[in-house]
Each structure stands twice: as C-alpha cells, then as structure tokens.
C-alpha cells in the first residue's frame, strides 16, 4: 500500500506561541526548526513510507525538506493545520497515494519504530492521541479522504466521531514518541525528561540552557 506522510509546518517565527514563557521569540524559531529537522530525519528511516510531503510557507522548512528528500507544497495563506493538511492530501492523491500519515513537526523524540507500528495497524482511521489523551498528534487515513480532519483542542473525539459517522473502521493507538509534542512549556519539560530527543533538538536546548 502506497503511503505518504504529510507534515504541515507553520512559519517558524509564528509557531509555538505558547512556548514563549519558556523560550523567547528568536531562539524559539531555532528550536522549531530543530524539531522539524529531527522529525524529517526520523521519517527518513521508516521503510513503510513511499515519501514525505511538507506543506509550508517557511523557506527554512522548505530547505530542510529538500535536504531530506521530501516534496514541498507551498502553503500560501497559513490559515490553519486542517487547511494545510488538505493541501498535502490533494498532492498525495495526485501522486497516487492509497493512504496518508498526518503528523506534526514538533515530535522531536519520534522513534521510527513507532511509525512502523502505526503503519502496521489495520483500520481506515487510526488516531494517535497526544499525551493528555484528548488531542490528535497523528492520523493514518486509508483512503486519504476517509474522513475530514478536525485538528485542534479536543480533536481525538471529533476524529473518532467522524469515523463513526462515515461508517469506517477506527482504532485509537497510543504511541509514546508520537504522543509527545511541544505545545507548552510543560510539554517541553516532559520531552526533556523523557531523554529521547533528536540530536538537533537536544543540541538546540543545550545551547539555550548555556545562554
């Protein structure tokens, strides 16, 4: 089954506003860039993926994507995650994808083995919740438009309800490294405590700690 990963990436200067209490604006952009780089590196080790599509208007993110061998789809408006995901899904369908994996760029502890486990899960919709159990950190959709995405606070319940309404199979699969993102200072602290950060993110956080 041809599976493409879709990674929506907001402009680094606008991303992760809720981290301001822990990381100032300039360094925060560098941290976001490091996290995206680590996610792309992890995805590059996943044998079950036929490719990665990065949806972004951020030149630095596009450069990271090109360096990682990913395709870049320009996001002209940066309206939101669901709109960016739809741009990626449209491109994936044009490339003949039978399935798409939607995931964020802020899971810098991502283990390729967790992604392989997710890809081996049989269901039309597979929801990977965040560490709080209420959000959605990743969606596996087969076919790519099995349901309409509804990312945002409380999205896990919305995605499960959408699968039920569409009459398609749905599974919820908790995966530690996909469930750990960096939306808040508390999330960032949890990632650091886990001790499994990607090399770029770890180096960036170490520089910030010394500054």
pLDDT attached to residue 52: 98
Q: Tell me the pLDDT tens digit for each residue of 15-41.
A: 555 555 555 555 678 888 998 999 999
Asked if the model's pLDDT at residue 207 lies above 90, the reply is no
CB neighbour class for 209 (10 Å; exposed up to 12, middle 13-18, buried from 19): exposed
User: Alpha-carbon distance 133 to 154, whole Å?
Assistant: 9
pLDDT attached to residue 25: 58
pLDDT attached to residue 125: 98
Contact 6, 85 (CB under 8 A): yes
Question: Structural domain boundaries of the chain?
Answer: 3-201
User: Alpha-carbon distance 6 to 139, whole Å?
Assistant: 10
Which residues are CB-neighbours of 63 under 8 A, at least 6 positions away? none
User: Alpha-carbon distance 96 to 91, whole Å?
Assistant: 9
Q: Tell me the pLDDT tens digit for each residue of 113-124.
A: 999 999 999 999
Compute how many other C-beta atoms are within 10 angstroms of the C-beta atom of residue 203. Answer: 12
Domain 3-201 has CATH 3.40.190.10: no
Q: Tell me the pLDDT tens digit for each residue of 36-91.
A: 999 999 999 999 999 999 999 999 999 999 999 999 999 988 888 999 999 999 99
Residue 37, both tokens: 């780089």
Beta bridge partners of 124: none
Least reliable range by pLDDT among 7-21, 58-72, 98-112, 133-147: 7-21
Quote the radius of gyration of the chain (alpha carbons, Å). Answer: 16
Q: Examine residue 143 and say whether the peptide bond preceding it is cis (omega within 30 degrees of 0).
A: yes
């Amino acid at each position: 089954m041809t599976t493409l990963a879709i990674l929506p990436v907001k402009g680094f200067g606008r991303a992760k506003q809720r981290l301001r209490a822990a990381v100032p604006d300039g360094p925060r952009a560098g941290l976001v860039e490091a996290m995206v780089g680590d996610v792309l590196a992890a995805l590059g080790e996943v044998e079950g993926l036929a490719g990665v599509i990065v949806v972004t208007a951020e030149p630095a993110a596009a450069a990271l994507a090109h360096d990682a061998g990913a395709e870049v789809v320009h996001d002209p408006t940066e309206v939101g995650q669901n709109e960016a995901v739809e741009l990626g899904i449209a491109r994936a369908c044009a490339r003949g994808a039978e399935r798409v994996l939607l995931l964020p760029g802020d899971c810098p502890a991502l283990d390729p083995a967790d992604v392989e486990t997710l890809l081996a899960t049989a269901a039309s919709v597979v929801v990977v919740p965040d560490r709080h159990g209420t959000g959605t950190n990743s969606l596996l959709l087969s076919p790519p438009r099995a349901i309409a995405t509804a990312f945002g606070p409380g999205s896990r319940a919305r995605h499960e309800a959408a699968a039920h309404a569409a009459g398609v199979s749905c599974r919820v699969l908790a995966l530690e490294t996909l469930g750990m993102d960096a939306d808040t200072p508390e999330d960032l602290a949890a990632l650091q405590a886990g001790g499994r950060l990607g090399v770029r993110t770890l180096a960036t956080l170490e520089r910030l700690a010394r500054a």
